[in-house]
Structure 1
Amino acid sequence: MKVLEVVTEAFQFICTVQFWRMAVLWTLSLIFSFLKLFSHTLFLSKSKIYSGGSPQEPKSKAATLRGLPICVITGATSGLGAAAAHALSKEGFYVVLVGRSSELLSKVLSDIRSQNNDACLKAFQLDLSSLKSIIKFKSSIHHWLIDSNIHPSIQLLINNAGILATSCRITSEGYDQMMAINYIGAFCLTKVLLPLLENSPVPSRVVNVSSFTHWNVWDMPADRETVSGTCFLKSRCYPYAQIYEFSKLCLLLFTYELHRQAGRAEKSHHLSVVAVDPGAVKTNIMREIPSCISQMAYIVLNILGLLHSSETGVRAIVDGALAPPEISGVYFFGGSGCCLKSSALSHNVKLAEDLWVTSCDLFQELQLAS
């Protein structure tokens, strides 16, 4: 009976438009991205802008704990977030792991320390779908810095957290949960941590983890209903694949707009912003998809040579984190130190400005509600 239920669930899942959108369009956009990467590395000698190195001025005593720059990573309880925490702790960062589960955070801390005795780590609980939780986190990390007699600043923020929810869920603020975690939470967290980033006496950076799925968005209004995801809640069938694509496009638009604003702001002259795309990585992000289908997808991607493990996929995040301070407003892809040009829509300045205004309005609304 259980086998029949599993088969029925899988059959119903593949008989949806959203499944075929993922299966066909996402695969094609991934292949397209790798073809662009191949052409860039083959014909453009300057496409590779990073080839390894050390953290940005890691020996600055004024901004570090035990001489280490401070890095905050969201979604650090598993997958790419945990892999990034491990990799960057080896690169000389004091890593602050952020996630929803204290139990999983403790496990990741133990795993990293078992492989790296010298790792400097700190963990905080945070629910990115709640502004109250974000503000509480900002207060907690600020007090931690002061209590530890450290300069009140951070040098690196990695907005890595993200989900692929196949069913409709609404946050306490009335937003779609996937948009709230994948984009709004990253925007709000960056906003509240911006003073700490700008206060760094050495160059600081924001790294936003986006996705090749953004290529599948050809048009997007930057109104309140779209950004909060409430317009999708009216759909008869929850368009989870489209919402995921929208959230990743929003992260790119946000990256480029923050880069432009940082370039204009006098106090942000040393703040750089980059987007990274690890490609297809085998993590638990597909946990809500029937296991037989997700496993089949991984097998096909592996056969095509398009699938990375978390340890391999994290290289794109490390590239973005360690690139020289002057590198900003770019899109790293594939973990090869190369940058690609993302979709034309992601470079639409007017759309980015409208998205910024809408996001700031939502942020202010959430602040008042909190």
Structure 2
Amino acid sequence: MGIDRAAIEMVLSFQFWRMAILWPLALLYCYARLNLAALFRRRTSPREHFRCRLVPDSAGGNFRRPICIITGATSGLGLATARALVGEGYHVVLAGRCAESLYRTIQEIKQEYEEAHLTTFQVDLSSLQSVVKFEASFKQWLLDSDLHPSVQLLINNAGILATSSRITADGYDQMIQTNFISAVVLTSLLLPLIKNSSLPSRIVNVTSFTHLCASNMKIDCKKFSRNTISEKYPFASIYEYSKLCLLLFSYELHRRLRAENLSSKISIIPVDPGVVHTNILREVPSCLSQLAFRVLSFLHLLQSPEAGASSIIDAALAPSNVSGEYFFGGRGRRMGSSSLSYDAKAASQLWLNTSIFEEQV
């Protein structure tokens, strides 16, 4: 039997053990908090879990479906979320890198929902030029389709776990750009359409419990550009950092919309599905990723994409008064994220740094 050199090198790395030890502990910590909160609620008053259906605008006799944009929509959580929202009556816009995968996704969803309203756009979130091109193409599609120039739901779901250092054409770490920078830029570009909705609109940012492991590092946009990364790429730390930044951005956007008295019209919800059996570990040696999934399954912590997507649907269809709350683990459950994620000063600094990204587009 041959030796899997890549697996051995991975096991011998600090980042592997950071991921193998700290991430499960963070996940168990989250579930422990949920269970304690549930026990307390049973002793006081139960917390209701309900979803609000967004009724299409039928004014003037025109049946108008709400529009939802989902990034990373061709597999895993994105695909499961798209399928569920089609069932809720949305016109779902699928955003993904591969045209073939987008076509296959449409065919798969239409096997279940023959009358599904679906539209696809190719977009590569590791390229700011591609994000800008998507926004322009999407607005042109709205115009050509004689649709109201608005968006009711944006789900920033796309994300990667890269195990090697790759710098994008824009000069940023690929994982940081895909998981965070492009979500910020896309949200900023689409915000006028989101504000233009006559119905309550929402931005859902898919984050991760791994943000709990991020250290109290200074928020610095230089971390996102061509910097001096050691030969051993700190992939676990950078992934945690990207998810923390997405949380900081979510809370800061919520605060700014509230200051504009728009929080009742536009809600911002970060959501964490927990551990889901997707291809997120595709860059980890297969023997290690399969072992990880077996262990998580044995501990009853591993969910199917459909089960994991339920938390995203909860966030998408929750009442508007839960804007700025952190959804975790489905069944409408909410909890507090890390204390660092609520640091308003750090979030404000990050907001200033993100303006650099927007200037590039």
**TM-score band w.r.t. shorter chain:** over 0.9
- The equivalent residue for 2:51 is 52
In structure 2, what is the Cα distance between the partners aligned to 1:92 and 1:275?
23
Q: Does 1:300 align with 2:295?
A: yes
Give the C-alpha shift of residue 173 in structure 1: 1.0
How many corresponding residue pairs? 359
Give ranges in structure 1 of 5+ residues lacking alignment: none
In structure 1, what is the Cα distance between the partners aligned to 2:161 and 2:138?
28
In structure 1, what is the Cα distance between the partners aligned to 2:101 and 2:164?
24
In structure 2, what is the Cα distance between the partners aligned to 1:159 and 1:206?
8
- The equivalent residue for 1:346 is 341
SS of 2:280 mapped into structure 1: helix
What do the CA deviations read for 1:50-80 (whole angstroms, capped 9, x no partner)? 32342x3x22146998431100000001110
SS of 2:327 mapped into structure 1: strand
In structure 2, what is the Cα distance between the partners aligned to 1:235 and 1:245?
17
Give the C-alpha shift of residue 114 in structure 1: 0.6
State whether residues 205 and 271 of structure 1, in contact with CA within 8 Å, keep that contact through their aligned partners in structure 2.
yes
In structure 2, what is the Cα distance between the partners aligned to 1:247 and 1:361?
17
SS of 1:31 mapped into structure 2: helix
What do the CA deviations read for 1:191-218 (whole angstroms, capped 9, x no partner)? 0000000000111000000000000012
What do the CA deviations read for 1:27-62 (whole angstroms, capped 9, x no partner)? 1001001111111122136784532342x3x22146
Q: Does 1:116 align with 2:113?
A: yes
- The equivalent residue for 1:85 is 82
Counterpart selection for 2:22 from 3, 22, 25: 25
Q: Does 1:245 align with 2:240?
A: yes
In structure 2, what is the Cα distance between the partners aligned to 1:358 and 1:269?
27
What do the CA deviations read for 1:249-276 (whole angstroms, capped 9, x no partner)? 0111011000001111256651110000
TM-score normalised by the chain length of structure 2: 0.96
Q: What does 1:1-370 align with in structure 2 at a 5 Å threshold? A: 3-5=1-3, 7-44=4-41, 48=47, 50-54=49-53, 56=54, 58-61=55-58, 66-226=63-223, 228-231=224-227, 233-266=228-261, 270-364=265-359, 366-367=360-361
Give ranges in structure 2 of 5+ residues lacking alignment: none
State whether residues 264 and 321 of structure 2, in contact with CA within 8 Å, keep that contact through their aligned partners in structure 1.
no
State whether residues 264 and 320 of structure 2, in contact with CA within 8 Å, keep that contact through their aligned partners in structure 1.
no
Give the C-alpha shift of residue 147 in structure 1: 1.2
What do the CA deviations read for 1:280-305 (whole angstroms, capped 9, x no partner)? 00000100000010000000001111
In structure 1, what is the Cα distance between the partners aligned to 2:60 and 2:75?
28
What do the CA deviations read for 1:303-331 (whole angstroms, capped 9, x no partner)? 11110010110011000100012220011
What do the CA deviations read for 1:216-262 (whole angstroms, capped 9, x no partner)? 01212111212x1544x521210000000000001110110000011
State whether residues 162 and 182 of structure 1, in contact with CA within 8 Å, keep that contact through their aligned partners in structure 2.
yes
Give the C-alpha shift of residue 125 in structure 1: 0.4
SS of 1:221 mapped into structure 2: coil
CA RMSD of superposed structures (Å): 1.8
> What percentage of residue pairs aligned between the two structures are identical?
48
**Higher mean C-alpha deviation, range 61-70 or range 92-101:** 61-70
State whether residues 56 and 63 of structure 2, in contact with CA within 8 Å, keep that contact through their aligned partners in structure 1.
no
In structure 2, what is the Cα distance between the partners aligned to 1:302 and 1:126?
33
* AA at the equivalent of 1:276: V
Distance verdict in 2 for CA 1:253–1:315, change over 3 Å: same
Distance verdict in 2 for CA 1:63–1:70, change over 3 Å: farther
What do the CA deviations read for 1:308-355 (whole angstroms, capped 9, x no partner)? 010110011000100012220011000121101000000001001001
* AA at the equivalent of 1:215: L
* AA at the equivalent of 2:2: L
TM-score normalised by the chain length of structure 1: 0.93
What do the CA deviations read for 1:100-129 (whole angstroms, capped 9, x no partner)? 111101111100001111211111000112
